[in-house]
Chain A
Amino acid sequence: MSRRIFVPRDTSAVACGADAVADRIRSEAARRGVDVTVVRNGSRGLCWLEPLVEIETDEGRIGYGPIGVVDVEGLFDAGFPGDVRHPRALGLVENMAWLKRQLRHCFSRNGITDPLDLADYAANGGWAGFAQARSMASEAIVQTVIESGLRGRGGAAFPCGIKWKTVLDQVAEQKYIVCNADEGDSGTFSDRMLIEGDPYRLIEGMLIAGRAVGATKGYVYLRSEYPLACRVFAEALDTAREAGWLGSDIRGGGRDFDIELRIGAGAYICGEETSLLESLEGRRGQVRFKPPLPAIKGLFGKPTVINNVITLASVPDILANGAAWYRDLGVGRSRGTLPIQLGGNIRRGGLIELAFGVTLRELLDEFGGGSASGRPIRAVQVGGPLGAYLPESQFDTPLDYEAFAAIDAMLGHGGIVVFDDSVDMAEQARFAMEFCAVESCGKCTPCRIGSTRGVEVIDRMRAGTDAEADEVLLRSLCDTMLHGSLCALGGLTPLPVLSALKHFPEDFAVRR
């Protein structure tokens, strides 16, 4: 029997050489006359071990990582495929503490299945949520999502079910489901990893959303910086459509739903929901005034659900297991699980799905294993480029939307970027302003002009003609941006700036 070997086709694995490793395994096996089948799975999220090669055995899957092309021959020499002695051997992957401690719901299939194999999907719990939703009335589906406590994972944490209810309550001949896969926040990659590793889960979530609110058409707006995710998802749509999971009369249930993939064009602001709609309609991605809410007047003026990838991908399990199952996980008003992304200067970075409530310190120490450089961790930025920088004294903050808000920080899309003690926090604050200037949609002056001024003021502070006056100026500039911006790009850029200034004032001192 052919032995199955798994080599991820996830962007991070490929970025570390997985394609070449897969080719080398095939050619080396052929040369030695060993019968193997190489499966290109998604990523387990153990990014520091990528490329992570796994072999199927009777006991389970045995891992080796990170494996480079140069390691392949040695692996075969040692008796590969099989449970061989090797410095990179990890044992049974599912027994690894890093995975065992997690609660993999949204990412239950990632790294385990062949992302595009529908049979694999169905055999591993796929479509169970849809099957449940199919037997329910729209109102009951929406009610389940409300009761689950699921909040939007794109950043704003708005209750998902309430949004769905608003759209359900609208009377319109056409409604839309729009999936926000723009994932512009630096330090975040869960949307990408889900789409590359388990794309049918997103399709299933959108099918359920469509049934819940009475929409027959969906769009996925995926950023152009993710070419591999674009290819995988386009293929997933074709395969699902051929199998009758998309199109008209889905699986004989008498309902229609189809999904169109649209590719972004390198504008961070197009992750903001109204800007995203403008972009889908073929215009500049300028933010719209609200109201009207997209749920009432959204895409092409029609009632529209806009949700993040992870929000939609969380829905199938909620339907399959019930609202109470999900609501019982988490803390406070943050219910369920969050796929956390640990990146930057960290030894063991990757994707960690846990119930809300875990502290930053647990993540940094127990999962992360300290910095990659071996130097002390000095700061972490949570929640993307608009998120606050937190010093060590705040590492006991639990991952919970309200706990973060209470310390003027933001959980956002769950990205944690780690910096060691070589970081220059004034430089980071300057970058936050610079990024805002580059990405501003230009609609409001505080954001468009204020951010450029912010860069100049920070430069002046450090040049030191009148640092005190410049600090006052910087604070007042932040205040203007905070209160005078239409959206969170201008409105939250002060968060990283002011947190850096507050917790690391010494870095803003004059440079000589």
Chain B
Amino acid sequence: MKPHVARPDPSSPGSGLDAVARASVEAVIASFESRQDVLLPILHGIQDALGFVPPASLPLVASALNLSRAEVHGVVSFYHHFRSEAPGRHVLRLCRAEACQAMGARAIEAHVRRRLGIGYNETSADGRITLEPVYCLGNCACAPSAMLDEQVHGRLSLEAVDRLLDGCGEVA
């Protein structure tokens, strides 16, 4: 999936988005009232639709909510959940927190990073997997845990993680 970003045109808000992405962003914005407190729900809506929050969408959000672009950018950058770049086809979140550490999460982390050849918040060269850290998935009694896209997996072994990665297609 290519990022929905075309060459920006500073003259009109959101002009750096292609038509499809722009329509999704506008549809999300239109489904909310124009109040600052819906900023997070709007950002969630955009990320759910596009997989990330394109920087070029921020002026659209800002003007709809009567905020400055800097304010919206400040919010997007504060929250770890929001991505500013398009992710790979799958997102794998490894739990780095204590209960998972106690059950071997550090070895899993090292293994996955080695196999994919990437660090956190990076995407494998073939564009299949984006790796992200997460601090607890609430699965601490069945650790170690990871979330592949929206699905949590527990009691992970190195072999089980390999099967998850295999399921995402060939990874260099």
Seen from chain A, the residues whose Cβ lies within 8 Å of a Cβ on chain B are: 11-12, 14-16, 47-48, 50, 183-189, 191-193, 224-229, 262-268, 279-285, 300, 341-346, 349-351, 372, 381, 385, 415, 417-420, 423, 428, 431, 435, 438-439
Interface class of chain B by DSSP = mixed
Chain A contacts of B138 at CB under 8 A?
11-12, 183, 188-189, 191-193, 225-226, 229
Q: Does B44 contact A (CB under 8 A)?
A: yes
Chain B contacts of A439 at CB under 8 A?
135
Q: Does B43 contact A (CB under 8 A)?
A: yes
Chain B contacts of A350 at CB under 8 A?
141
CB atoms of A343 and B143 under 8 A apart: yes
Within 8 A of A (CB), among B133-170: 134-143, 145, 147, 150-155
Instruction: Give the size category of B's interface with A.
Output: 35 or more
Chain B contacts of A12 at CB under 8 A?
138-139, 141-142, 152, 154
Chain B contacts of A185 at CB under 8 A?
136
Q: What's the Cα separation between A284 and B76 when bound, in Å? A: 8
Q: Does B102 contact A (CB under 8 A)?
A: yes
Task: Select the residue from A225, A341, A428 with max chain B CB neighbours within 10 A.
Answer: A225
Q: Does B118 contact A (CB under 8 A)?
A: no
Q: What's the Cα separation between A478 and B151 when bound, in Å? A: 38
Chain A contacts of B143 at CB under 8 A?
343-344
Set B40, B103, B134: member contacting A344, Cβ < 8 A: B103
Q: Does B99 contact A (CB under 8 A)?
A: yes
Q: Does B50 contact A (CB under 8 A)?
A: no
Set A186, A346, A349, A428: member contacting B135, Cβ < 8 A: A186
Chain B contacts of A267 at CB under 8 A?
78-81
Q: Does B39 contact A (CB under 8 A)?
A: yes
CB atoms of B97 and A187 under 8 A apart: yes
Mark each residue of chain B from 78 to 113: 1 if its CB lies under 8 Å from any CB of chain A, else 0.
111110000000000000011101110000000000
CB atoms of B98 and A187 under 8 A apart: yes
CB atoms of A344 and B137 under 8 A apart: no
Set B140, B145, B147: member contacting A341, Cβ < 8 A: B140
Chain B contacts of A188 at CB under 8 A?
136, 138, 140
CB atoms of A11 and B152 under 8 A apart: yes
Q: What's the Cα separation between A298 and B147 when bound, in Å? A: 34
B108 to chain A, nearest CB (A): 14
Q: Does B6 contact A (CB under 8 A)?
A: no
Beyond A185-B136, A266-B82, A344-B101, 17 additional pairs, beta carbon < 8 A: A11-B138, A15-B155, A47-B142, A186-B99, A189-B140, A191-B138, A263-B44, A265-B40, A267-B78, A281-B36, A281-B37, A285-B78, A349-B140, A385-B98, A385-B135, A435-B97, A439-B135
4 closest A-B pairs by beta carbon, nearest first, are A343-B140, A349-B141, A186-B97, A47-B141
The residue in chain B whose Cβ has the minimal distance to the Cβ of A48 is B141
